[in-house]
Amino acid sequence: MRKALAWSLLAVFLVGCASDPAPRDISGVWINQAAIDEAAKGGNLREALLAYGPNLEWDIDAKNAKANYTNGFEWVEGKLAPEKKGVWQVDLYGSSAIELSLKGIGLTQAASDSDPQQSFVRSPVHLTRDAPLGTHFEYALKAAYLGGEWRVISGPGQGNTVTFMPDGQIKGLANYNAYALCLAGDCASMSGEYDSLWLQQDEIGAAHLFMRNGRRLEIFQALDSAKPDEMPQFYPGKQEWVLEKQP
């Protein structure tokens, strides 16, 4: 009788544990993979980011109650506090709070008056812990959007194979060895309907505009229509390169 009672109590205890799991740790770097997947289809980059953004990366340190995010042009710091099981609130200075929750293996940012609902996954990119906020997203985005080998169809170095590295280096593009994609902010405002990127050779660089259509990438000079005392307003000038992604 005592054994039966003991086993009965153990069963109740185990069922209780199974139905009341310990809350998972929310700490780590989370990136907006849905925005990256949309960009990888090979269309307009900023449209893809806006369709699933605007926030691109969260860096959360639950132990120290910190939760910071970036939308590609600003870093926002917040204070993290558990609200209920599986749900956290991020209090932002001078702004309304953001609600985060774990759903499966993903992190969901609840919809608010200013932003739609957004989803994030733990970053698959392995970088040093002191990597600047947003770096994980940019690495993953560059690999998905510009990864692989590209052939120069026209322009300087015609016939060359070009490789855009996730760390911002370029191999094979004449006169340039580094690049940066414009994700949001002033550089986006200056380029109108076009996407833009910065191309650089050592310490010297310049803004360029580009159009991506599937496996085809066209890069143009960026000409400025603004007055000297105004923010630059770029429009496409001479087509400098046409690149084609290789199978």
**pLDDT tens profile 145-194:** 999 999 999 999 999 999 999 999 999 999 999 999 999 999 999 998 99
pLDDT over threshold 90, residue 197: yes
Question: In this predicted model, what pLDDT tens digit does every residue of 201-233 receive, in sequence order?
Answer: 999 999 999 999 999 999 999 999 999 899 999
Question: In this predicted model, what pLDDT tens digit does every residue of 156-168 receive, in sequence order?
Answer: 999 999 999 999 9
Question: pLDDT band for position 13 (50/70/90)?
Answer: very low
Answer with the residue of higher pLDDT: 12 or 37.
Answer: 37
Spatial CA neighbour of 193 closest among 82, 65, 91, 45: 45
Q: What is the pLDDT of residue 106?
A: 96
**Using CA atoms, how far apart are residues 217 and 125, in angstroms rounded to an integer?**
25
Question: In this predicted model, what pLDDT tens digit does every residue of 71-116 receive, in sequence order?
Answer: 999 999 999 998 888 899 999 986 789 999 998 899 999 999 889 9
What angle (nearest 5°) sits at the alpha carbon of residue 48, between those of residues 42 and 54? 155
Question: pLDDT band for position 23 (50/70/90)?
Answer: low
Residues 6+ apart with CB under 8 A from 193: none
Burial of residue 41, with CB atoms counted within 10 A of its CB: 0-12 exposed, 13-18 middle, 19 or more buried: exposed
Collapsed DSSP state (helix, strand, coil) of residue 64: coil
Q: What is the pLDDT of residue 184?
A: 93
CA 206 to centroid of chain Cα atoms = 23
pLDDT over threshold 90, residue 122: yes
- Lowest-pLDDT range of 28-32, 125-129, 134-138, 169-173: 125-129
Q: What is the pLDDT of residue 134?
A: 97
**Using CA atoms, how far apart are residues 89 and 91, in angstroms rounded to an integer?**
6
Question: pLDDT band for position 2 (50/70/90)?
Answer: very low
Question: In this predicted model, what pLDDT tens digit does every residue of 43-65 receive, in sequence order?
Answer: 999 999 999 999 999 999 999 99
Answer with the residue of higher pLDDT: 85 or 117.
Answer: 117
Q: What is the chain's mean pLDDT, rounded?
A: 90
